[in-house]
Structure 1
Amino acid sequence: MAEETWHEARLIPTSGINGADEQERRATSALLAVVTAVREFGRGLTQPLGAPAGTIQTFIEVPFMLGDKRCYPDGLIRVSRGQRTWTALVEVKTGTNELAAEQLENYLDIARDNGFDALITISNEIPPSAGQHPTKVDKRKLRKVAMHHLPWSQILAEAVVQKEHRGVADPDQAWILGELIRYLEHPRSGALEFEDMGQSWVAVRDAVSAGTLRAADKGVADVAARFDALLRYASLRLGRTLGTEVVPVVSRRESADPGLRTAALVDGLVREGRLSGAIRIPNAVAPLTIELDLRAGRVALHVDVDAPREGRSTTRVNWLLRQLKAAPESVRVEAFAMHTRGPGAADLLKVVREDPNLLIQDPKKELRAFRIALTSPLGSKRGRGRGAAIDSVLDAIDTFYGEVLQHLKAWTATPPKMREVAELPEPTRPALASTALSSQDGAEPVDDADDADDSQGEADDPEDESAAVSETSLP
């Protein structure tokens, strides 16, 4: 038999998974075991949740009594450092299974009764932003116990970033972490990526195209929430590639009250047929704005860049064009002038390269900012694959960042240069005692009359005359 058909032995096999229970049990055991074995990865997951940087112990299916019934949380994490101990229960869901509010409230009661610190939930549900939880529970149960949620996509991103970018000191631990990554990336693990825009996506899309969508229609809020989840997943995916933390841009008010964000998305969807959001990439020139136009069937990405604060308008346009050498010609460039409102002068990059003056409407007004945008078709399908909305958005983000955004740099003023001071010549006459040389002094003028007097004095010197007479009297 050819070796190509042989299956390589794996630390965490994907074969033999029968049913959701076995899938959850294996995923939980694999994750918690690696959290214990790989110190850097374990601390990277637990410290943001409030755990100290100490020794980690993990357990699965720990039994607890809650009244007259016995409960089995999927796992338990204990972190100890000195006299301090931090303990959290873990509840895991895989595949399309969702967290149940009643079950979470029971585990919160168990954690409170046992003096535990937190409840950690893990599933494929992706909340709009970090810190939010996809399942609503009685807030009174959160007074003494914190509840945190980790999507599987976030755990996978953390594992990849730790192994590929931050590094793992021990080679064996790095290999173990790589085996977890390999397992989570396998479709049978149950750790799914963002794969569905929701069952209301097609109906809402068609209503937008027909101009009949209303804010009270069924599924509108769900589509808005799915869009925010897509932005969060796109951030995690891009951050996994770049080795850094990419996050959606959410205001403080929206973070404190997610309903405000949902209401704003629903309003934009009903009035304009658009869903809009932004993601922040560390050290990028500006946040990347992503807009889905359901009426036109387009996805548009843009970034706003401040123009240089010195130089002519043409100089400022050329400054931007030099940074867009690798950008595709279909990129749209728009220039905004000082003290003006509304849209500015805009054209495609291939046209602006030939004539930069097209972006200058009034040469007397300075340019204050540029907008670089790229549009592409928006998929219509709710799932994944060719022609799907999710893939069209992810591909557009990868293209725009790789060909445009990563090459842009903010303008910085040239630092001031030291003034060159010419060396002063030696004075031809004694300076006044009360006067010192200054950097403002130049070369002193030479007095012709003084030079004439000096030469005349030398000719009238009697010693020189006697010397001349004695020389002529010699035979």
Structure 2
Amino acid sequence: MSEASWHEARLIPTSGISGADEQERRATSALLAVMGVVREFSRALLSPLGAPAGTVETFIEVPFDLGDKRVYPDGLIRVSRGSRSWTALVEVKTGKNDLATEQVENYLDVARERGFDALVTISNEIPPVAGQHPTKVDKRKVRKVALHHWSWTYLLSTAVMQKEHRGVSDPEQAWILGELIRYLEHPRSGALELDDTGAQWVPVREAVTAGTLRASDRAAVEVASRFDALMRYASLRLGRQLGTEVLPALSRKEQADPAARAQAQLSGLVADGLLRGGIRIPHAVAPILVVADLRASRITASIDIDAPREGRATTRVNWLVRQLRGAPDAVRVEAFVANQRGAGATELLGKVREDPSRLILDPKKDLRSFQVALSAPMGSKRGRGRGGFIDSVLDLVDAFYGDVVQHLKAWSAAPPRMRDPVQVVEVPPSLVSTSHSSQDGPEDPGAPTQP
């Protein structure tokens, strides 16, 4: 038998997973064990939850009595530093299994009775807004116990960023974290990527096309929420590739009031057939705006950038074109002048390269900003793969960032230059003329005359 058929030994094997229970148990044990060993990884996960920087202990399937029954949370995390201790219960779901409200509330009761600090849930559910929990629970149960949620996509992204970009000080710990990454990336681990927009996607898309969608349709609410979840997934995915924290672009009002964000998304879907989302990348000139037009079956990614504050209009257009030298000709550029209302002059980048004046309607007006956009056909299927909506969005985001956004830099004025010192030429006295010249000023009437 050739060595090609041999399977390399792994610290966390995917073989032998016989069902959902075994999948959850193995994923829980692998994650918590690595958190207990790799300090930087556990700190990256637990610090935002309020845990101290201390010794991390982890346990699985810890039994607790709750009234007349016994419950078994999937795990428990305890962090100790000096006399301070922080403890959280852990509930885990893998594959397509969703968290159950009754189970979550039971564990919140256990945590409250024992004075634990938090309950952390883990599943493939991705909330549309960071900090929001995918499961609705009685608000009274979270008054004394914090409720947090990690998606498997978030955990995988955090692990990759820590190992590949932020770094792990101990080589052996880095290898262990790499084994967790390898395990979570395997399809049998149950840590799935976002692969479905939900059963309501096709009916809602057809209703938008027919003009029959109404705000009262519950299916529209679900699709609007799942699009925001897709933007969060796209942000995590892009951040994993870039090695930095990429987040959905939300206003302070939207972050503070997720219901208002959901209502605005729903209104745009019903009125215009549009789903809108944004992605904010550190140090990029501006957030990426993503718009899915369900009526036109097109997806557009765009970014706004301020024009230089000096130079002629053609100089400002050329400044942008030089930065887009590697972008495809199909990129659309729109130019806006000061105090403009409505659309500006717009043209494809290929035409602008040939003639920058295509973006200049009036050379006398002050050109203030540009919008750069790339459009692609929208996938119609609810799942992943060829013709899928999710992949069409992710592919466009990747292409737009790679071809356009990462090359754009904001304009900054050049610092003033020092003037060269004036060179004084010494003139010999014999060459100094005292004769009156036409270049001299008028004579002073009171001045004495030469005899």
Range of TM-score over shorter length:
over 0.9
TM-superposed deviation, 1:426: 8.1
Bigger CA drift: 80-89 or 370-379?
Answer: 80-89
**Which structure 2 residues correspond to residues 174-189 of structure 1 after superposition, within 5 A?**
174-189=174-189
| Letter of the structure 2 residue corresponding to residue 272 of structure 1 | D
| Aligned 8 A contact 2:273 2:293 in 1 | yes
Q: Give the equivalent residue in structure 2 for 1:45.
A: 45
Larger radius of gyration: 1
**Aligned position for 2:115:** 115
How far 1:448 moved relative to its partner? Answer: 4.6
1:11-410 alignment runs, 5 A limit: 11-410=11-410
SS, match of residue 245 in structure 1: coil
Cα distance between partner residues in 2 of 1:428 and 1:236? 78
TM-score after normalising by structure 2: 0.94
Shift in alpha-carbon separation, 1:70–1:313, aligned structure 2, 3 A: same
- Which amino acid letter does the alignment assign opposite residue 179 of structure 1? E
How many angstroms does 1:447 deviate by? 5.5
Return the alpha-carbon distance in structure 2 between the equivalents of residues 114 and 418 of structure 1: 71
CA deviation after TM superposition for structure 1 residue 427, in Å: 11
* AA matched with 1:227: F
Q: CA deviation at 1:293?
A: 0.6
Instruction: Give the structure 2 partner of residue 457 of structure 1.
Output: none
Instruction: Give the distance between the partners of 2:84 and 2:162, measured in 1 at CA.
Output: 26
Shift of 1:253: 2.0
| Cα distance in structure 1, aligned partners of 2:69 and 2:242 | 47
- RMSD of aligned residue pairs (Cα, Å): 1.6
Question: For residue 437 of structure 1, what is the aligned residue in structure 2?
Answer: none
How far, CA to CA, are the matches of 2:427 and 2:28 in structure 1?
A: 89
In structure 1, how many angstroms separate the alpha carbons of the residues matched to 2:424 and 2:75?
82
Counterpart amino acid of residue 243 in structure 2: G
Report the alpha carbon displacement of residue 310 of structure 1 after superposing the two structures with TM.
Answer: 0.6
What residue is the counterpart of 1:468 in the other structure? none
SS in 2 for 1:131: coil
**Which residue type is aligned with residue 71 of structure 1?**
V
SS of 1:219's partner is helix
CA distance, structure 2, for counterparts of residue 224 and residue 252 of structure 1: 19
Q: Deviations over 1:431-459 (max 9, x none)?
A: xxxxxxxxxxxxxx986569xxxxxxxxx
Segments of 4+ moved more than 4 angstroms: 423-429, 445-450
Letter aligned with residue 22 of structure 2 = E
The superposition leaves residues 172-204 of structure 1 with CA deviations (integer Å, 9 ceiling, x where unpaired) of 111111110011011111101101101000000
In the alignment, the residues of structure 1 paired with residue 348 and residue 254 of structure 2 have an alpha-carbon distance, to the nearest angstrom, of: 35
Q: C-alpha displacement at 1:256, in angstroms?
A: 2.1
Instruction: Tell me which amino acid in the other structure corresponds to 1:405.
Output: V
2:250 aligned partner, one-letter code = V
* Structure 2, gaps ≥5 residues long: 436-451
Equivalent-residue separation in structure 2 for 1:236 and 1:428 (angstroms): 78
1:284 is paired with a residue whose SS is coil
Cα deviation code 1:130-167 (max 9, x no counterpart): 11111111111111111110000000000001111111
Cα shift readout 1:272-304 (whole Å, capped 9, x = no counterpart)? 111011010000010000000111111100000
In 2: Cα distance, 1:336 partner to 1:372 partner: 12
Mapped partners of 1:73, 1:397: distance in 2: 38
| In structure 2, distance between residues paired with 1:373 and 1:251 | 22
Check 1:66–1:427 CA distance in 2 against 1; reply closer, same or farther (3 A cut). farther
* SS of alignment partner, residue 218 of structure 2: coil
Query: Structure 1 residues 300 and 427 mapped into 2: Cα distance closer, same or farther (>3 Å)?
Result: same
What is the CA distance between 1:425 and its match in structure 2? 7.0
Distance of 1:149 and 1:338 partners within structure 2 = 45
Q: CA deviation at 1:217?
A: 1.8
Corresponding residue SS for 1:31: helix
Provide the C-alpha distance between the structure 1 equivalents of 2:210 and 2:323, rounded to a whole number of angstroms: 41
Instruction: Return the offset for 1:242.
Output: 0.2
Deviates more, 1:342-351 or 1:78-87: 78-87
| In structure 2, distance between residues paired with 1:40 and 1:52 | 13
| Distance in 2, Cα, partners of 1:446 & 1:29 | 99
Aligned counterparts of 2:228 and 2:434: Cα–Cα separation in 1: 90
Distance in 1 between residues matched to 2:287 and 2:180, nearest whole Å: 32
Q: Which residue identity is paired with 1:162?
A: Q
SS at match of 1:147: strand
Ranges in structure 1 where 5+ consecutive residues have no aligned partner: 430-444, 451-475
- Please tell me whether the aligned partners of residues 201 and 223 of structure 2 are also in contact (alpha carbons under 8 angstroms): yes
Q: Does the aligned pair in 1 maintain the 2:59–2:75 contact within 8 Å?
A: yes
Q: CA deviation at 1:205?
A: 0.4
Change (3 A) 1:83 1:272: same
Query: What is the CA distance between 1:168 and its match in structure 2?
Result: 1.0
What does residue 6 of structure 1 align with?
A: 6
In structure 1, distance between residues paired with 2:238 and 2:124: 18
> Is the CA contact (8 Å cut-off) linking 2:245 and 2:281 kept in structure 1?
yes
How many angstroms does 1:129 deviate by? 2.0
CA distance in 2, matches of 1:224, 1:311: 44
Aligned to 1:440: none
Secondary structure in structure 2 of the residue aligned to 1:327: coil
Q: Distance in 1 between matches of 2:19 and 2:324?
A: 52
SS in 2 for 1:225: helix
If the length of structure 1 is used for normalisation, what is the TM-score?
A: 0.89
Is the 8 Å Cα contact of residues 129 and 258 (structure 2) preserved in structure 1? no
